[in-house]
Chain A
Amino acid sequence: MFEGLLVDLVPYGKDFLDRENEWANAEASFWGSGGDRRVVSRAQTQARLQRWAEALESGHDTGVAFGIRAKDGTPLGFMGLTWVLPYHRLAMLGAKIGDPAYWSGGYGTDALLLVIDYAFDWLDMHKLWLTTTGFNRRVMRQMEKVGFTLESRARRETLADGQWHDGLFYGLLRTEWPGRDAKIEQLGLRVRAEG
């Protein structure tokens, strides 16, 4: 659907949904939830996916879900807009890469640049934002690299492995976005992808 350098963004279909329960019980879920360690049954995951599908159907969930697929076809995880407020032209980003083997190879950044372009160029959003936690250094580094601004720090917002951590809010205005091509150039991603 949208072709990146290392990954493509595709509909979040069966390939991905089939992995949901595995991912929900994996380390990825700890990072995605700000420190929760859930132990989830297949039936619970099924029920959650069912509720999600219904919310999308009824229009209560205005989000847009993409699957991140490696060039060899492996489903890697989720990338999308989890909360879209069209009247404020504001969308929240969310991402989860299920398999830790793909956490630092530039796959997430590649997918992120695609979805940013999508939100600005196709959905005409005014601003994108996201939240993460103060212990998620990988995401913090990624956001700064891509050009997001740290806008707010919610003190001791979340509990992870017995410690309170801050919640972080990042924002990117459309006027600050140079476009995906320019960003790829600036970060030298093409060379990395080919190398």
Chain B
Amino acid sequence: MIEGKLVDLVPFEDDFATYFEQWMNEESWFRARVWERREPHPEDAVKKFIEKMEKNEHGALIGFQTKDGDPIGGVIWDHEWTRVRKVDAILFVGDMRYEGTDEALDGLLMLLRYVFETRGVHRVDAAALAFDEVRIEFYHRAGFSHEGTLRQHVRWDGDYVDLELFGLLEDEWPGYEQITAQLDLQPSGIEPKPKPEKKDEKKNGSGQQPG
């Protein structure tokens, strides 16, 4: 666990894996993953995605949760390009009650803290669909610069929409402590949701060990 101001980064497993079957089918997932084809993700595709990210040598999927342990969503760093020390950063909010809250923003800041202060990257890339104002606002608050607009780039519900590109460089990142102090993050006071029901173990006994 990596502890932050309002949220902690934790492995993407247990309750996260359970929630993910739902989250990966929400609109917010497709807004976060701008390149993905909008399609239903059946159970096995959800598991496969987690597995793929677990084996990914140039990226990872990490869960983030409140201080009470309430899972909010995930952060992804990916396509790490070691020669130029560059990664793509993705924030997704699964529990939509947290959309736009400081907890969600802290998820993004914790991701930036991790890639700049632990992995030592030089540059972080981020993208947002042009109508995704909440995300764009987050990028600005985290210190990203808007670098350009890829016109009519992605198909979205009957139309082609612009993709806004953002970048943040290591010498522009003030450090996690400083930026969180500056942004004065405040908890939203959202009640933690009840724990999800444990999924039935497979009859043939090959199911995972509990927790």
When the two chains form their complex, are residues B169 and A127 in contact, meaning their CB atoms are under 8 A apart? no
When the two chains form their complex, are residues A152 and B148 in contact, meaning their CB atoms are under 8 A apart? yes
Chain A min CB distance to B96 (Å): 25
When the two chains form their complex, are residues B169 and A156 in contact, meaning their CB atoms are under 8 A apart? yes
Contacts of B125 in A (CB 8 A): 154
| B67 interfacial contact with A, CB 8 Å | no
Contacts of A122 in B (CB 8 A): none
Chain A min CB distance to B48 (Å): 14
When the two chains form their complex, are residues A154 and B147 in contact, meaning their CB atoms are under 8 A apart? yes
When the two chains form their complex, are residues A157 and B123 in contact, meaning their CB atoms are under 8 A apart? yes
Which single residue of chain A is at the shortest CB-CB distance from B122?
A: A156
When the two chains form their complex, are residues B152 and A153 in contact, meaning their CB atoms are under 8 A apart? no
Which single residue of chain A is at the shortest CB-CB distance from B155?
A: A88
When the two chains form their complex, are residues A152 and B122 in contact, meaning their CB atoms are under 8 A apart? no
CA distance A127 to B152 in the complex (A): 8
Q: How many residues of B contact A (CB 8 A)?
A: 22
Given the known interface contacts A87-B37, A126-B160, A157-B86, the answer about A152 and B153 at a Cβ–Cβ threshold of 8 Å is: no
CB under 8 Å from chain A, chain B span 132-163:
145, 147-155, 160
In-complex Cβ contact of A154 among B152, B153, B165 (8 A): B165
| A129 interfacial contact with B, CB 8 Å | yes
| A89 interfacial contact with B, CB 8 Å | yes
CA distance A34 to B81 in the complex (A): 12
CA distance A158 to B125 in the complex (A): 12
When the two chains form their complex, are residues A126 and B152 in contact, meaning their CB atoms are under 8 A apart? yes
In-complex Cβ contact of A129 among B145, B150, B155 (8 A): B150
CB under 8 Å from chain A, chain B span 23-45:
35, 37
When the two chains form their complex, are residues B148 and A151 in contact, meaning their CB atoms are under 8 A apart? yes
| A40 interfacial contact with B, CB 8 Å | no
When the two chains form their complex, are residues A88 and B153 in contact, meaning their CB atoms are under 8 A apart? yes
CA distance A90 to B152 in the complex (A): 10
In-complex Cβ contact of B84 among A89, A90, A153, A157 (8 A): A157
| A30 interfacial contact with B, CB 8 Å | no
Given the known interface contacts A36-B83, A87-B155, the answer about A156 and B123 at a Cβ–Cβ threshold of 8 Å is: yes
Which single residue of chain B is at the shortest CB-CB distance from A36?
A: B83
| B167 interfacial contact with A, CB 8 Å | yes
CB under 8 Å from chain B, chain A span 68-101:
85, 87-90
Chain B min CB distance to A151 (Å): 5
CA distance A57 to B152 in the complex (A): 30
CA distance A154 to B148 in the complex (A): 8
| A177 interfacial contact with B, CB 8 Å | no
When the two chains form their complex, are residues B155 and A89 in contact, meaning their CB atoms are under 8 A apart? yes
CB under 8 Å from chain A, chain B span 7-37:
35, 37
Chain A min CB distance to B90 (Å): 16
CB under 8 Å from chain B, chain A span 145-171:
149-159, 169, 171
Which single residue of chain B is at the shortest CB-CB distance from A87?
A: B37
Closest 8 CB pairs of A and B: A152-B148, A87-B37, A152-B165, A88-B155, A151-B150, A158-B84, A159-B84, A151-B148
Which A residues contact B (CB, under 8 angstroms)? 34, 36, 85, 87-90, 126-127, 129, 149-159, 169, 171, 173
